[in-house]
A and B are shown apart, each in its own frame.
Chain A
């Protein structure tokens, strides 16, 4: 009997001991021992990588966003940089100046300075795929100056500018589609693709001066802000130039990455008065079809777009079928010219960022074995034909433009 009790006690003690081992991982790290990074900057000074970190200060966030706290507003983020022969070497140097260990799991964006972009970014992609702490869904942005300067800027409405930058690029992609959101894994896919070309959106400081001090927020307008700009074009892993916003929108159509967008179409009202119609693109799909004419490779971009009228300042009666047709034709011309401009720019830059190489590889696998060796030259000579199907799906809540009513009254 006694033995049984002893056995039970021993079992219970053993179970309790086992419970001790389930309390956590071998090396526990408390939340207040990590420095949560919201944005990372990568620069190249000619010899070394300079990695900058935008680290969140949780305690200070509430004071910025309106919570109570002693003293004035404190910066919710702190930015510092370290230098090294490799990216991870630079990150290791952060241990000698930061009381906390850098934690990259919540990193939202990685901003790359122009010099680093020109040098090549293979190492950065390797870092992202090799380490489990950093995520491949982080958005990549390029900047004409240094990445550190971008990380230092405060942003309106969003206390942590790293998270804000990601929100801006996602919102831009959803609503205007001029610039795409490029996560690290997509960048790697494009760079290893058949054309070995990729794009990265630009972020820059617009306005005069900078907004790296909270004092700027004591006024209703800030001297400068972070803004998305052009599109950086990469060949292999190096940047070879920029595309303007207009060309970038054309590229978005060709890459079939337009979710929603807008176009401004010139229009003509009664008595030759000129104005503009603004059309929101609700749906868009593009097929790039390679064709062989003789031995020459050509491409046709088959674009199917539907839109809604957002604004009109021409005197037009939208009940009339001719007016709608006019709008649709105007849209077709606009989109066609966007596509041609982007295609020409791509050819000028000698790089195929439109995925044309993949399309050719799929359609002409045998010829691709030859073309693939010299794709840039083949692409440079290939003309693009556009076939735009533009449909005005909705006219908004009024069927006649206000200008039309005014003109009619005058008569």
Chain B
């Protein structure tokens, strides 16, 4: 039986697939480019993100319930379908390795500074593989629970930080040149293009017709979180200090000091962020395994998962000798992100348009 996920769960999955890495390192990069107008770049990125979500959702709506690779094979022919499937598979696996490493770097920077990297990477991969083994339904349910936690943590954080916020730090508006604002909006746009995971998730949805809604809300939730972190960072620290902070959202929470009883509460925010990061990891590994299994005609998903898990562990722990090399540049590898998440879907859309007349129901559904 095909597992089924609700529209709300899809929204949760999409926001978890985009937001965690976006709020981690992007705000300080954006502020260093667009200074106190970085929030405008956030808004621009949010609008572009919505447009991308709309396009992706429109493409995925053309799929009437087949698995991604099978659907492509049926519509565009086997070789093209397989090629696109492999490309997506490699992309998701590759990014999975990068994210694991960035996540491990963060953990060792912030809390477990003496724990060896292979241990952190190993634990992360094991937990992710275990979750993916439970199937997409389990991942979707966890994603929804995490989304609820975010909806609790965000208002509480803003309330606690209220006295430190000074909106005057955003003035004068439009002080930075339009070009700089546009440049600053590129990294989040690249990450928001990860909404393309919807192409893979739609066949699992109970109501594939609401893919557009899921895509739009997922993208909107992600860009709102980014905007919130940028606004908090700017209104609390001002534009000069933010570029110095590697993990802006942690620093923002770290300054909370209410009397002598409420201190060091950043650990709560970080804990919830950890959970979203794990959901992101599972979504990416799931997508990678899904694409590769179907493209390469492999029989056992479980074996592919275990194999990829092992490979990811070795890659994440050994690929980058220095932490810096695995940081922001890899995370927001714009050409790669835009090529896979925007370029390929556009090609798919063109292919679909060309083959509209000769639509056929190809490929058996595999479980």
Interface residues of A (CB under 8 A from B): 25-27, 105, 129, 132, 135-137, 183, 185, 188-189, 192-193, 358, 361-363, 365
| A185 and B240 contact, Cβ closer than 8 Å, known pairs A26-B115, A365-B175 | no
Which residue of the partner chain, among B112, B251, B255, contacts A26 with CB atoms under 8 Å? B112
B158 interface contact, C-beta 8 A: no
Asked if A193 and B238 make an inter-chain contact with CB atoms under 8 angstroms apart, the answer reads yes
Q: How far is the CB of B132 from chain A (nearest CB, A)?
A: 18
Which residue of the partner chain, among B110, B112, B254, contacts A136 with CB atoms under 8 Å? B254
Q: List 11 A-B contacts (CB under 8 A).
A: A26-B116, A105-B264, A129-B245, A137-B254, A185-B237, A185-B241, A189-B237, A193-B240, A358-B168, A362-B172, A365-B175
Residues of A close to B255: CB separation below 8 A: 136-137, 183, 185
Asked if B244 and A26 make an inter-chain contact with CB atoms under 8 angstroms apart, the answer reads no
Asked if B111 and A132 make an inter-chain contact with CB atoms under 8 angstroms apart, the answer reads yes
Which residues between 227 and 265 of chain B lie within 8 Å of chain A, taking CB atoms? 237-238, 240-241, 244-245, 251, 254-255, 257, 263-264
Q: How far is the CB of B352 from chain A (nearest CB, A)?
A: 47
Asked if A362 and B168 make an inter-chain contact with CB atoms under 8 angstroms apart, the answer reads yes
- Given A25-B115, A129-B244, A365-B172, 4 other A-B residues pairs in contact with their CB atoms under 8 A: A105-B264, A136-B254, A185-B255, A362-B168
6 closest Cβ pairs, A-B complex: A192-B240, A26-B115, A27-B114, A365-B172, A362-B171, A137-B257
Assembled-state Cα–Cα distance A192/B244 (Å):
11
Residues of A close to B254: CB separation below 8 A: 135-137
As a 0/1 sequence over residues 154 to 174 of chain B, the CB contacts with chain A under 8 angstroms (1 = contact) are: 000000000000001001100
Assembled-state Cα–Cα distance A178/B333 (Å):
51
Assembled-state Cα–Cα distance A188/B263 (Å):
20
Residues of A close to B263: CB separation below 8 A: 137
Assembled-state Cα–Cα distance A231/B144 (Å):
52
CB closest chain-A residue, reference B263: A137
Assembled-state Cα–Cα distance A136/B266 (Å):
13
CB closest chain-A residue, reference B257: A137
Assembled-state Cα–Cα distance A362/B36 (Å):
11
Assembled-state Cα–Cα distance A358/B113 (Å):
39
Which residue of the partner chain, among B109, B116, B238, B264, contacts A189 with CB atoms under 8 Å? B238
Q: How far is the CB of A255 from chain B (nearest CB, A)?
A: 13
Assembled-state Cα–Cα distance A113/B6 (Å):
63
Q: How far is the CB of A171 from chain B (nearest CB, A)?
A: 12
Which residues between 100 and 149 of chain B lie within 8 Å of chain A, taking CB atoms? 109-116, 119
Residues of A close to B116: CB separation below 8 A: 26
Assembled-state Cα–Cα distance A273/B282 (Å):
83
CB closest chain-A residue, reference B123: A21
Q: How far is the CB of A394 from chain B (nearest CB, A)?
A: 25
Q: How far is the CB of A56 from chain B (nearest CB, A)?
A: 15
Residues of A close to B172: CB separation below 8 A: 361-363, 365
Assembled-state Cα–Cα distance A363/B171 (Å):
8
Residues of B close to A185: CB separation below 8 A: 237, 241, 251, 255
Residues of A close to B241: CB separation below 8 A: 185, 188-189, 192
Residues of A close to B171: CB separation below 8 A: 362
Q: How far is the CB of A61 from chain B (nearest CB, A)?
A: 16
Assembled-state Cα–Cα distance A188/B109 (Å):
21
Residues of B close to A26: CB separation below 8 A: 112, 114-116, 119
CB closest chain-A residue, reference B245: A129
Residues of B close to A189: CB separation below 8 A: 237-238, 240-241
Q: How far is the CB of A232 from chain B (nearest CB, A)?
A: 21
CB closest chain-A residue, reference B169: A358
Q: How far is the CB of B129 from chain A (nearest CB, A)?
A: 14
Residues of B close to A362: CB separation below 8 A: 168, 171-172
Residues of A close to B168: CB separation below 8 A: 358, 362
